[in-house]
């Protein structure tokens, strides 16, 4: 139950982050919030790790665990998060979250194939319902693309590409996270190391990419409070997800966390009405997703 609660808390935090990214990062903006979110996560998780370690003692850590956490940071913090923020900037919170539903499918396959986790009958049914949900979400995404202006449609194509790359990064990183947690049961350390690596890679890329360099400069020269809020919620979501992986199987955590899309749809309907539209296809997809998650949790 604790793992399920942490996974759902993670989904809620990420959903809030999705909406605040959409509010703070417009397509023409120099900074979409990815770098500041990595810095905030490093600071928050590092401060909590230090405080809890001083209060009750630090967990034993091996060099192999640090390497697993660093590898996870390359895929989740740098590839996954950076490309997801770019996707939200171009597609908005609702549509970019539809692509993020690829994460749990890849993660489940890796969990079963590599970690030999058990796939129960209820989880299988839930996975099928989530697949139907994803199909309906993509129908809605195609309809939205057909109604878009030519310039927006061109930007959206890159948004979909970035979303797919992000999903591949996240799902690969989840496996490395699990390996690291098997070596050192310290979610906060894992989050701190992973995001430090992600922030370092972002800065290293800024030395060669003008877009990344502008994003770094804008982070410090023109702070965006929407993006800072997004970074904080994303940080809490990652920490909760890491903690859930510490007590529950990878496939279960990944699938429960897929509820993020439906929380995002609700928050987007309430707060993003002037920028995004909640369509019948999205409503049907949400219902299928809730049913799928109920099977996963209940069986």
**Residue 299 — pLDDT band, cuts 50, 70, 90?**
low
> Would you say 253 and 241 are in contact if contact means Cβ atoms under 8 Å apart?
yes
| pTM (predicted TM-score) | 0.84
Q: CB count, 10 Å around CB of 153? A: 13
Task: Name the least confident of 97-111, 205-219, 221-235.
Answer: 97-111
**155 vs 88: CA distance, rounded Å:** 11
**14 vs 201: CA distance, rounded Å:** 22
* pLDDT greater than 90 at residue 195: yes
pLDDT recorded at residue 102: 75
For residue 229, give Cα distances in angstroms to 14, 33, 200.
11, 10, 21
* pLDDT greater than 60 at residue 168: yes
**Residue 74 — pLDDT band, cuts 50, 70, 90?**
very high
**204 vs 25: CA distance, rounded Å:** 22
Mean confidence (pLDDT) of the chain: 84
Where does the chain have alpha helices with state H?
Answer: 2-24, 34-56, 63-72, 82-91, 93-99, 102-113, 121-147, 150-183, 187-206, 210-221, 225-247, 250-256, 260-271, 280-298
Tokens of 81: 């998060």
What is the tens place of the pLDDT at every residue in 81-122?
999 999 998 888 987 887 777 776 777 777 777 777 788 787
For residue 269, give Cα distances in angstroms to 59, 74, 262.
43, 33, 11
């Amino acid at each position: 139950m604790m793992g399920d609660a942490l996974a759902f808390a993670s989904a809620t935090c990420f959903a809030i982050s999705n909406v605040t990214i959409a509010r703070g990062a417009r397509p023409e903006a120099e900074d979409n919030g990815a770098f500041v979110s990595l810095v905030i996560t490093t600071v928050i998780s590092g401060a909590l790790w230090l405080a809890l370690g001083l209060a009750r003692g630090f967990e034993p850590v091996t060099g192999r665990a640090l390497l697993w956490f660093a590898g996870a940071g390359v895929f989740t913090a740098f590839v996954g998060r950076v490309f997801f923020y770019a996707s939200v900037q171009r597609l908005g919170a609702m549509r970019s979250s539809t692509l993020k539903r690829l994460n749990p499918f890849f993660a489940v396959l890796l969990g079963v194939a590599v970690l030999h986790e058990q796939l129960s009958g209820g989880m299988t049914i839930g996975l099928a319902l989530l697949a139907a949900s994803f199909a309906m979400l993509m129908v809605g995404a195609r309809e939205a693309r057909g109604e878009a202006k030519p310039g927006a449609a061109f930007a959206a194509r890159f948004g979909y590409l970035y979303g797919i790359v992000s999903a591949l990064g996240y799902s690969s990183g989840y496996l490395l996270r699990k390996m690291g947690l098997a070596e050192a049961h310290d979610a906060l350390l894992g989050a701190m190391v992973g995001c430090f690596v992600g922030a370092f890679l972002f800065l290293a890329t800024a030395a060669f990419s003008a877009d990344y360099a502008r994003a770094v400069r804008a982070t410090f020269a023109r702070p965006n409070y929407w993006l800072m809020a997004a970074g904080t919620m994303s940080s809490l979501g990652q920490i909760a997800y890491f903690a859930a992986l510490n007590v529950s199987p990878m496939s279960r955590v990944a699938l429960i966390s897929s509820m993020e899309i439906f929380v995002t749809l609700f928050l987007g309907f309430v707060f993003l009405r002037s920028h995004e539209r909640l369509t019948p296809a999205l409503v049907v997809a949400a219902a299928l997703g809730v049913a799928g998650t109920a099977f996963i949790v209940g069986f």
